[in-house]
Amino acid sequence: MLGVDTNVLVRFLIRDDEAQFEKARKLIKSEIAAGRHVFVSQLVLLETEWVLRSRYSLSKSQIIEAISRLLDTSDIRFEDEPAIEEALFIWKDTTADFADCLIGSQNRRLGCRATATLDVKASKLPGFIAA
């Protein structure tokens, strides 16, 4: 299994630099052709969401669609995929940040009774409490 960092994942998704897109595509394609998986950590996913939103001005629905397409790819593995899926489901109907949704989802999966926050938007998420 080969882990990818944010710039590989963003280039693969955005395709704004053809040469870098081709490098990312060939890298991913060669791993899959060799019967290996590509791994995306939660840190890379969070950073990717931030880059897509802040640098490329993608809408929430576009980002959800991009991440969902990746999740549907059987050759790409994610760190705690169920937490990511839950976070996306929660995120689509809230004004809170994706990062907060993922933090809450992962904390629940790890056995936390709640996640304490000072963030007003996050405090309205399921499983969060105001600190």
In a domain, 129, yes or no: yes
Q: For tokens 């882990």, what's the residue?
A: 3
CA–CA gap between residue 116 and residue 92 (Å, rounded)? 21
Output the pLDDT for position 88. Answer: 97
* Residues 14 and 42 grouped into a single domain: yes
Q: What is the pTM of this model?
A: 0.90
Task: Please write the tens of the pLDDT for every residue from 72-81.
Answer: 998 999 999 9
What tokens were used for 115?
């996640």
Going by C-alpha positions, the residue among 128, 105, 103 that lies closest to residue 116 is 128
Question: Dmax over Cα atoms in the chain, in whole Å?
Answer: 49
Going by C-alpha positions, the residue among 71, 83, 81 that lies closest to residue 109 is 83
Residue 38 belongs to domain spanning: 1-79
In a domain, 113, yes or no: yes
